[in-house]
Structure 1
Amino acid sequence: MEDQAQLLARIADALERLSSTTAGDVDWLGLPAYVWTTAGARPVFEIDAPALDLLRGIDAQKDAVTTNVDRLAKGQAAHDMLLWGARGMGKSALIRSAVRAAQGDGGSIALVQVGTDAVTSLPQLFAQLGSVEGNFLIFIDDLGFSESDDTTPRHLRSWLDGGVEARPANVRLAITSNRRAILPRHASEQDDPINPRDAVDDNLALADRFGLSLGFHNASQDDYLEIVRGYASEFGLDYDREEALGWAKRRGARSGRVAWHFITELAGRAGKRL
């Protein structure tokens, strides 16, 4: 009987500690990154991101993002960011790398990744971050909405600009999406007999809320090889140009992600760990 009571006490103690780390007070200034879920905040002790120099073929986008993140880290005016376009071209990696670089330069900034299933809880997150003496980049990766969900996009538009619950001055959003409009679009949008622009404008209204919108496009052959060359040099790997091109051809795409998979294969053959 006593053993059972002790077991129940240990379980209760563990549950109390768990609840305090997810729903209780969070040290928003103590770590480089956090993950926000419907249960609360979870700490991330190190941002997993490549060095900025290894992100190649996206120089203009890299300059724009790093400049904007640096401004936010210094407490200056900064834009919400929408990074859209081709898969595997470094949209998410660039966000993480830019924040890590700003932290390395002494900037006061933390990355808070929000799962797409927790977007509706953003007001609670804003309420916590608005009272903290630091700066935060809210990161929502690969955002998309179902065709039947017209409520969440409207709330997100309001939080970005124009609503009474807009994000605090020390918080900005960075969103990645394969679509420039984020929302799915159809040719039938043009078929409205009353005003064919209404449906189109409504879908584009969310994308228009971002002060910085950057497109990412499929890599050219030269860009792809330059990415491979950069990774190979960084990790001391030899590669064959034709094999690198064949790797991309078999996968039907040339991108930074495909180049990284090729480098992973080379490292595995060489018995190295990346």
Structure 2
Amino acid sequence: MDKLTAGLIIYRQPQESILVRLAELGRRVKDGDEGDKTALVNGVLGEVNRLLDIATRYGFDGNLWHSYLAFLLATVEAPFTLVCEKRGSSAGSVQVFAENDMAIFKALWDYDFAPWEKALGVRCFSVLSNYRAVAKPAQIYNKSVSDKVRELTAAIDGAKDAAAMYKNVTDFYAKYGVGMLGLNKAFRVSPEIEETGNLLEPITTTGDIRLTDIVGYESQKARLAANTEAFVQGRKANNVLLYGDAGTGKSTSIKAILNEYYDQGLRMIEVYKHEFKYLQRIIARIKNRNYKFIIYMDDLSFEEFEIEYKYLKAVIEGGLEVKPDNILIYATSNRRHLIKERVDDRPDFIDPDLHQNDTVQEKLSLADRFGLSIGYFKPNQKEYFTIVEKLAARHPEITLSAEELRAGAVKWEMSHSGLSGRAAQQYINSLLSAGKTC
């Protein structure tokens, strides 16, 4: 195995990778280096443990060795793989190196670990070749990556030679992309960015909410969807500000948009205002990728003493570097103008500021840089009842009469946050959790 891995060019692995460390252990086994057999066994079992850790994080089962190799092929970001992401397979000198690596991976795919097991007195590789994972909910593993790697694994299993394997892998890049940004749908700024330098980390559980799951707000959803559809299709689109009352579905609409358009190449990055200092680095990281990125800012607002909004203004429009065409900013806020306004901002207020109008315009200019502003406002009582009834209809176990349902909904909103879609959902949740469904 060590001679195989030493021949990799495009897919060369770092020294700490499982593949390289197993290859070194395999060399020692082959050379009969059994001076400390216990150390060799412990080394192999340590790498098996790392394989099991990957399997748990990504929900792999079946042949874990094959899943691991497919995972490597799917996640290596190199010039060749990034070009394939945009254009698919293309002829050129680099193709020779890629085909060389595929021949090596094909040999690794079919590698026989039986001599290792005989020499070391272990059977771990036999178990890994037919691994049965414990069933677990999608919330505790990265299902987005798992599904794609499983698909690639199945395709390679059916490849009769390295040429077929090369086609399977390059077709996969063209369909799904490569690396973290290709295989995941949503990201956040890494909390360890200063220590590790890792800029983004995947959000592995994003939910499956759809626009049709949001009751009401049809015109708002239609405008948001139309803008996003233009964006993913490569047409001009606007940055979007969703503003209005709390609990009306602003954040939920944006989460639904991600699910609606993910399979068309949409990705989303969640950024909070204290992370705005990383915006330029984020843009540099994603601007040349073959996806459309929405930078999502939830509950965006600024107090008068906060100056982060100035950096955001420059990123949206105004800096020397033009914002790339594959990036938009979607934000939600309870404030229409984002920045706190005071009574002394009114034009009839006598203020020592000689250029008071300039001060007001400075505060308003951030919101103006969102080309599309969509208002979400609290429903009236009739609309609130409609939301409650439609949500209840999704749960056949709720058999309360319309009158009982409405009476309970009124009591709920009076003791909670008032009329809103959020209050309606919370009321339905309370019925389900308490078993008060009939």
Provide the TM-score with structure 2 as the length reference: 0.54
What are the superposed Cα offsets for residues 17-70 of structure 1, whole Å, 9 maximum, x if unpaired? 9xxxxxx97621111111124622111234225331221231111111111112
1:256 equivalent to 2:421? Answer yes
**SS of equivalent to 2:408:** helix
In 1, the alpha carbon distance for the partners of 2:409 and 2:436 equals: 19
- Structure 1 CA distance for aligned equivalents of residues 205 and 261 of structure 2: 14
* Gaps in structure 1 of 5+ consecutive residues: 1-5, 18-23
CA distance in 2, matches of 1:235, 1:64: 29
Between stretches 90-99 and 74-83, larger displacement belongs to: 74-83
Does residue 233 of structure 1 match 2:233? no
Task: Tell me, in whole angstroms, the C-alpha distance in 1 between the residues paired with 2:242 and 2:182.
Answer: 26
Higher RCO by CA contacts (8 Å cutoff, separation 6 or greater): 1
Q: Is residue 36 of structure 1 aligned with residue 201 of structure 2?
A: no
Deviations 1:106-153 (A, max 9, x none): 311011111232122100000011011111111010112232222x21
Look up the match of 2:276.
119
Provide the residue aligned with 1:3 in structure 2: none
Using a 3 Å threshold, how does the CA distance of structure 1 residues 48 and 271 change in structure 2: closer, same or farther? farther
Amino acid at match of 2:296: F
Amino acid at match of 2:317: D
Task: Report if aligned partners of 2:209, 2:259 keep a CA contact under 8 Å in 1.
Answer: no
Q: What amino acid is aligned across from residue 324 of structure 2 in structure 1?
A: P
Q: Which residue of 2 aligns with 1:164?
A: 320
Q: Tell me: CA distance 1:107–1:265, structure 2 relative to 1, closer, same or farther (3 Å).
A: same
- Give the aligned partner of residue 177 of structure 1: 333
Q: Is the 8 A contact 1:123 1:165 kept in 2?
A: no
Q: CA 1:42–1:267 in structure 2 vs 1: closer, same or farther (change >3 Å)?
A: same
Aligned to 2:301: 144
Task: Tell me how far apart the structure 1 counterparts of residues 351 and 362 of structure 2 sit (CA, whole Å).
Answer: 13
The residue correspondences of 1:209-224 to structure 2 (distance < 5 A) are: 209-224=369-384
CA distance in 1, matches of 2:376, 2:408: 25
Q: 1:143 to 1:163 in 2, by over 3 A?
A: same
Q: Which moved more, 1:184-193 or 1:56-65?
A: 184-193
Q: Structure 1's 271 and 72: CA in aligned 2 closer, same or farther, altered over 3 A?
A: farther
The counterpart of 2:357, out of the listed 194, 197, 214, is 197
Letter in 2 for 1:267: L
- Give the Å deviation of 1:166: 4.4
2:175 corresponds to which residue? none
Alpha-carbon distance in structure 1 between the residues aligned to 2:345 and 2:203 = 42
Tell which deviates more after alignment, 231-240 or 260-269.
Answer: 231-240
For residue 192 of structure 1, report the CA deviation from its aligned partner. 3.5
Question: 1:204–1:241: structure 2 CA closer, same or farther, 3 Å change rule?
Answer: same
**Secondary structure, counterpart of 1:78 in structure 2:** coil
Q: AA paired with 2:384?
A: Y
Using the TM superposition, give the Cα deviation of residue 196 of structure 1 relative to its aligned residue in structure 2, in angstroms.
Answer: 3.4
Q: 1:128 to 1:252 in 2, by over 3 A?
A: closer
TM-aligned CA distance change 1:66 to 1:108, over 3 Å: same
> Any conservation in 1 of the 2:276–2:311 contact (CA below 8 Å)?
no
Structure with the greater alpha carbon radius of gyration: 2
Cα deviation for residue 168 of structure 1 reads 1.4
Q: Which amino acid aligns with 2:391?
A: Y
Contact in 2 for aligned 1:54/1:227 (Cα 8 Å) = no
SS of match in other structure, 1:27: helix
Partner of 1:69: 228
* Alignment partner of 1:53 out of 196, 204, 212: 212
Cα distance between partner residues in 1 of 2:435 and 2:417: 25
Q: Which has the higher strand share?
A: 1
SS of the equivalent of 2:264 reads: coil
Residue 157 of structure 1 and its aligned partner are, at CA, apart by: 0.9
Whether the 8 Å CA contact 1:142–1:176 is kept in 2: the answer is yes
Indicate if the aligned counterparts of 1:72 and 1:109 stay in contact, CA closer than 8 A: no
User: Deviation of residue 167 (structure 1)?
Assistant: 2.9
AA paired with 2:344? S
Any conservation in 2 of the 1:80–1:174 contact (CA below 8 Å)?
yes
TM-score normalised according to structure 1 size: 0.84
- 2:237 corresponds in structure 1 to 78
Partner of 1:109: 266
Identity across the alignment (%):
26
What runs of 5+ residues in structure 2 fail to find an aligned partner?
1-41, 55-75, 78-178, 194-198
**1:238 & 1:125 partners in 2: Cα distance?**
50
Question: Which residue number in structure 1 is paired with residue 258 of structure 2?
Answer: 99
Bigger share in helix: 2
